[in-house]
């Protein structure tokens, strides 16, 4: 059982970016050790509600223990944020005032020697966030073709020596533990640089095992659907692949026409659904980097939900269709105000 204390990254900046209000409803899509979730519950009291999601059963157990004093105000579920809309529908938790994604590995996961996330501990090659997942890192390392291994290491690890690494991995099979794999990777590298030779390959394998990038792209779209007017989407990323997805998604959703250049008139009819709060990223202070080295690569991006007149009409039609369903929750005036803003006249 892990004993390492997880320190939430960019905690003050995250709370400010979410624009937390008393009585609001918020989702922490990566509940982890519960640090961000606890701060959200504190700021949203009285009456605030939080839905925490994590694919890791151990993280869920720890978050529930940490947040137990908040009672029914904190609901923590063991699931993947790729299922965000389904989770919210099941728990009648929509629309919401803010959604947080704190991506990447937690200190807790890195400290658990039996999970295989770190090359610092000799452990079975696993790397799955949840035990129900079918494919482990061992499956990829020992069963995939050399070409597919090289592709994964290059695309998900941005490793320039991917072909050499894949070639040596195939020659060294079977590889059963993290330290065996780290040794093979080290032999494929010309010289040790600033970071450990195995860092990028381990990142690539973890991303592939957990389908992290696909799940992130899917969850971001679902998050926008769940946000009420002026609700905040806050994402903390830790490497360029994640940040690129988040940046491009927010820019695309904040744009009007997204037709290819050169068309005589707009045919996409795309309407902006987000407003960029910060054009760049929010980075940790030097003091935080010193106190928590894990924060060094963190980048926080924030955007705010806006609802166009066209979307207002579409949602109004949806509400009309749901009006006869007493269990849907959409007839409640407070929910309608969260969708369209506090100025909506419901009389």
CATH number of the domain located at residue range(s) 118-211 in this protein:
1.10.150.170
Q: Where are the alpha helices (DSSP H) in 8-105?
A: 11-17, 35-44, 57-66, 84-90
Q: Which CATH number fits domain 11-108+213-310: 3.40.50.300, 3.40.50.720, 3.40.630.30, 3.40.50.150?
A: 3.40.50.150
At residue 341, the pLDDT reads 55
Q: Delimit the domains of the chain by residue range.
A: 11-108+213-310, 118-211, 311-347
**pLDDT 10s digit of each residue in the chain, 347 long?**
444 567 899 999 999 999 999 999 999 999 988 999 999 999 999 999 999 999 999 999 999 999 999 999 999 999 999 999 999 999 999 999 999 999 977 766 666 657 888 888 789 999 999 888 889 999 999 999 999 999 999 999 999 999 999 999 999 999 999 999 999 999 998 877 788 999 999 999 999 999 999 999 999 999 999 999 999 999 999 999 999 999 999 999 998 877 888 788 888 777 899 999 988 899 999 999 999 998 999 999 999 999 876 777 766 666 566 555 544 444 455 555 555 554 444 43
Query: CA angle 342-343-347, nearest 5°?
Result: 105
Output DSSP code: residue 104.
Answer: S
Q: Do domains 11-108+213-310 and 118-211 have the same CATH topology?
A: no
Residue by residue, what is the 3-state secondary structure of 245-279? HHHHHHHHHHCCCCCCCCCCCCCCCCCCCEEECCC
Q: Tokens 């799940």 appear where?
A: 215
Q: Are 107 and 62 in contact (CB under 8 A)?
A: no
At residue 162, the pLDDT reads 98
Q: Are 27 and 96 in contact (CB under 8 A)?
A: yes
Torsions phi, psi of 136, nearest 5?
-110, 170
3-state secondary structure of 62: helix
């Amino acid at each position: 059982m892990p004993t390492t204390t997880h320190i939430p990254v960019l905690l003050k900046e995250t709370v400010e970016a979410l624009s937390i209000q008393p009585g609001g409803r918020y989702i922490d899509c990566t509940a982890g050790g519960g640090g961000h979730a606890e701060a959200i519950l504190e700021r949203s009291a009285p009456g605030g509600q939080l839905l925490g999601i994590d694919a890791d059963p151990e993280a869920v157990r720890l978050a529930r223990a940490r947040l137990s004093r908040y009672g029914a105000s904190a609901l923590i579920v063991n699931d993947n944020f790729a299922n965000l809309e389904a989770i919210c529908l099941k728990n009648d938790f929509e629309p919401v005032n803010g959604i947080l994604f704190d991506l990447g590995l937690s200190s807790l996961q890195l400290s658990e020697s039996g999970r295989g996330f770190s090359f610092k501990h000799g452990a079975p090659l696993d790397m799955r966030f949840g035990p129900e997942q079918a494919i482990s890192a061992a499956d990829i390392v020992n069963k995939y073709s050399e070409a597919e291994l090289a592709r994964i290491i290059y695309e998900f690890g941005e490793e320039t020596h991917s072909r050499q690494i894949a070639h040596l991995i195939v020659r060294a099979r079977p590889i059963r533990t993290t330290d065996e794999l780290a040794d093979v990777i080290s032999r494929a590298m010309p010289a040790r640089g600033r970071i450990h030779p195995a860092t990028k390959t381990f990142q690539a394998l973890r991303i592939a095992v957990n389908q992290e990038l696909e799940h992130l792209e899917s969850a971001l779209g679902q998050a926008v659907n769940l946000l009420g007017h002026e609700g905040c989407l806050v994402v903390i990323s830790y490497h360029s692949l994640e940040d690129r997805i988040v940046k491009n998604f927010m820019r695309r959703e904040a744009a009007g026409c997204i037709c290819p250049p050169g068309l005589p008139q707009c045919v996409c009819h795309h309407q902006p659904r987000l407003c960029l709060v910060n054009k760049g990223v929010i980075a940790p202070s030097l003091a935080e980097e010193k106190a928590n080295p894990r924060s060094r690569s963190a980048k926080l991006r924030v955007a705010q939900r806006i609802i166009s007149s066209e979307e207002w009409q579409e949602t109004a039609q949806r509400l009309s269709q749901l009006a006869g369903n007493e269990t849907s929750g959409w007839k409640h005036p407070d929910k309608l105000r969260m969708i369209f803003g506090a100025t909506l006249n419901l009389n």
